[in-house]
Structure 1
Amino acid sequence: MTGLKERIERSGITFTWIAKKLGITREGLYNKLQGKSEFKASEIGVLIDVLQLTPSEQQRYFFTNECE
């Protein structure tokens, strides 16, 4: 999830709010951001909408094998 955590921080939206929007706990969100578990397709869709991610950001954050 290269840079996704930083992208969320720059957005001004809290991790707690995003976790609630995704239907997971804040700890669950952190686990996903750290690569301990994977985002579901529905969660990716929510993040794309909430953060207004560009196609290149979507590719970088969700569809690469790189980890932070």
Structure 2
Amino acid sequence: MTNTSELEAAIARSGKSKKDLANKLGLARETLWKKINNMVEFKAGEILALQQLLHLSSAERDAIFFGNKGDK
């Protein structure tokens, strides 16, 4: 399950818009919104692309996409 607040923070830090990210991922903005808000799961390729686009370390990526929400 995606940690929405951490992903939103990473997007904000990157300075990229969600529209730009959606375009680069080949997704509609609505689809990206659903994925960010855990209505639809991210695919592995999308996670790797976001890691590169948002300049996330492997640890940051794992915390956002693979961690349990209550864990630190």
Query: Same fold, TM exceeding 0.5?
Result: yes
Any idea what SS the aligned residue of 2:69 has?
A: coil
Report runs of 4+ in structure 1 exceeding 3 Å deviation.
Answer: none
Q: Indicate the SS of the match to 1:66.
A: coil
Q: Measure the CA separation in 1 of the matches of 2:48 and 2:58.
A: 12
TM-score by length of 1: 0.88
Query: Letter of the aligned partner of 2:55 in structure 1?
Result: Q
- RMSD of aligned Cα (Å): 1.4
Match of 1:32 among 35, 48, 56: 35
Query: In 2, distance between residues paired with 1:18 and 1:60?
Result: 20
Q: Which runs of 5+ in 2 are unaligned?
A: none
